[in-house]
Every structure is written in C-alpha cells, then in structure tokens.
Amino acid sequence: MGPSIGRIIEHSEEISRTGSVDEVVDVLARLLRRTVKSRWVAVYLLDRERRDFLPALVSGLADRYLPLFQDTLLRPGSIPLIRDLLRKRQHMLITDTRNSELLPPIFRRLLRHLSLLAIPMVARNQVIGAVFVTRSLKYPPFSEEEIAIIREMVSYAALTASHIQLFDESLELALDNARHYEEMRALFISTVSTLANAIDAKSAWTKGHSERVMQISATIAREMGLPEERIERIKLAGLLHDIGKIGIIEALLEKPALLSEDEFPPMRLHPGKGVAILAPIEQLTDILPGILSHHERIDGTGYPSGLKGDEIPLEARIIAVADSFDAMVSERPYKSALSPLDALSELELSSGSQFDSEVVSAFCSHLRRTLSMPQ
C-alpha cells in the first residue's frame, strides 16, 4: 500500500468520526496543515440561496488578518478564481499569487509570499464549498502526490459534510412536519371536543359526560397495557361515542324518568347515526367500530347488531364500561348518583354478561388502587 493511500484512509476515518459540518471543516483544516505543511488553510461553504461562498474557518492565519477573511464573501460574479472553481470543478494551483488576475486585490496582498492551491468541495455532483491551501514560497510547490492527497481529503470531507447537511435538512423537515402535525392534531382535537361538548350541552344532566368517558376509557386502556397509538384512538372514540345523539329530540334526553318501550328505539339509533356523521372524516375511520358497538353486550343482547363476546371490538368494550360508570356516578333526572364503590359493585355484578370481565377487572383494580380501597 503506497503512502498516499495509507494517509487517505487514515484521514478519511478521522473525518468520518465528525458529527457536524463545523467539525468536518475543523478536522479537515487541521489535517491539511499537518499533512502537507500548509501555512494556512481557509474553508468556504457555498450559500445555496445567495450563491456566495461564506467563510467557515481560517486556520493558521495571523490574528490581525482574520477579520479580513471573516468579513469577506467570495462572489463568483466578481472573482474569476471562484467562477472557474464552480464551472470547471477542478483544483487550481497558483504559484505567482502577486500577479494573478484570478484573485481579488486583498488576496494578492495577503498571498504575496505564498503559493495557493484552490480545491472545490464537490458532493452529489454539486459544489458545496471551496478549500484554499497555502504554502510559503521558501518551500517547493505542492507535488502531484500532495495534491492527490489533498483532493481526496477534500472530496471525502465534502461528501461527509453533504451527508450531514442532508440529514440535518431531513431532520428539520421531519420536525417541521411533526410540529405541523401536532398543530393540526391540536386543532382537530379542539374541534372534536367542541362538537362533543355541544352534544353534552343538549342536556344539563350530561354536561362533561363525553370528556369524562374519554378520560376513563384512556385510563382503562393504559391499565390494560395497550399501546399509546391505540389509546389515542380509544380516547377519540370515547369523546365522540354519543355524537349520534345530535339528531335525537331534546325531550328524550331531558326526560326525568326512564324511557318507555316506544321511546327507547330512537335512542338505540344514536350509535349508527354517530358513525354516519363521522364516516366522511378520513382521520376518524379507525374509531368508528368503537362508537358503533359501545352499547353491545357480552351476552349478545345489546344493540345495534347483537354482537357477543370477542365479536365486540375491544375499544367498544372499554367505552361501554367507562360510559356506564360515569352514568352511574352522575346525577340524572330519573336517579341519584351512586358512590364510586357502589358503581364498581354494579360493574362487577354485570361482568361477563353486560361487560367484558377483563375490562371491568382492569378498571376496578385501578380505581381501588387510586382510592386506596382493598382489592
């Protein structure tokens, strides 16, 4: 293995360990000064919007000259060297910098005792920057082997920096999308909550019922160890489980007694009406089964389809328990509120017939633990 190949591999490995474009630039400049005994090294990166080269790092230059570089933009339109680097994408060696028309006057003054090697940073067929390596005229000019090493190092650094930039841009885009998604989701949830509250407001006795069912349903789902994504669906279904009541006359909702046999059928329609209202909303497709079946019973005597056991979606089985518990502990025109303990007893009495026994067990365990009651 020749010395240049060995050096290239060694330096490429060091560059590859960087985690940011600034680190790439810093390591590249340090390696170039050490490897080819450069007087100073300057790295400029291309601003893709302005199409100017902006200073990223100058290493080895006397402090009194640093402001000249830090405040200097390299514009392709006014500096022939930069224009040629962009067009030809090849390195350029200038040994007589004092009289070179390729350089701006400030460069000619600063480089009057130096030779200059300019190398474009090219990655994915795009120029992303330029590297300038200098050497005192007291020493021999850069050899072909040194130029080959420098070009390979710059090429590898350009590729590494490009990958980092691409990752950062992708990450920023992902974060922007996530922020946008969260904003849209928050707006969506707010709209849905407003709709649910409008349903509850049809009766003074049901105010806040939908939000309480949502919270209880989420509590049960977490107690059962369901994944967060499914819990989110259950929360939405719980919030909107009674949305179909928007089409039911308020007299039935406000009646201070249990519904008669004639009055009950219209109430039985609200799960199906809820699904019909929400079906056109694509984001809510996954929650419709939970809404449609939350009045089904484990023994098959529920509505609207008479499903039994595991035929009933788990989301619906959870909402059924949450809905019934909140109804039991709430004051209604035809009944007094039960205590949480009495409501738990009622749930357990109907476990396996009206309610899913696993759902009831999870909720009862949670509530007794929360209330410090014996299991």
Domain 178-370 coded CATH 1.10.3210.10: yes
Q: What is the pLDDT of residue 254?
A: 45
Q: What is the pLDDT of residue 262?
A: 46
Q: Outline where DSSP puts E strands in the chain.
A: 41-47, 52-59, 92-94, 114-123, 126-136
The structure tokens listed for 365 are: 């365990």
Closest alpha carbon to 8 in 45, 26, 35, 48: 35
Residue with tokens 């028309």: 101
How far is the C-alpha of 21 from the C-alpha of 56, rounded, in Å? 9
The angle formed by the CA atoms of residues 311, 228 and 299, to the nearest 5 degrees, is: 20
Q: Domain segments of the chain: what residues?
A: 3-171, 178-370
Sequential pLDDT tens for the chain (375 residues): 334 555 555 666 667 666 788 888 888 888 888 777 777 888 888 887 777 888 888 777 777 767 766 667 777 777 888 888 888 888 888 887 777 778 777 677 777 778 888 899 888 788 888 898 888 888 888 888 888 888 888 888 888 888 887 776 666 766 676 676 667 667 666 766 676 666 655 555 567 888 899 999 999 999 999 999 999 999 989 988 888 877 554 434 444 444 444 444 556 788 888 888 888 777 788 999 999 999 999 999 999 999 999 999 999 999 999 999 998 998 776 678 899 989 999 999 999 999 999 999 999 999 888 876 555
The structure tokens listed for 265 are: 């059928």
Q: What is the side-by-side order of every strand in the sheet holding 92-94?
A: 52-59, 41-47, 126-136, 114-123, 92-94
Beta-carbon contacts of residue 250 (< 8 Å; ≥ 6 apart): 202, 203
Q: What is the pLDDT of residue 237?
A: 92
Q: What is the pLDDT of residue 346?
A: 93
How far is the C-alpha of 48 from the C-alpha of 21, rounded, in Å? 15
3-171 maps to which CATH number?
Answer: 3.30.450.40
pLDDT digits (tens, 9 = 90+) for 203-226: 555 678 888 999 999 999 999 999
User: Which pTM was predicted?
Assistant: 0.51
Q: What is the pLDDT of residue 350?
A: 94
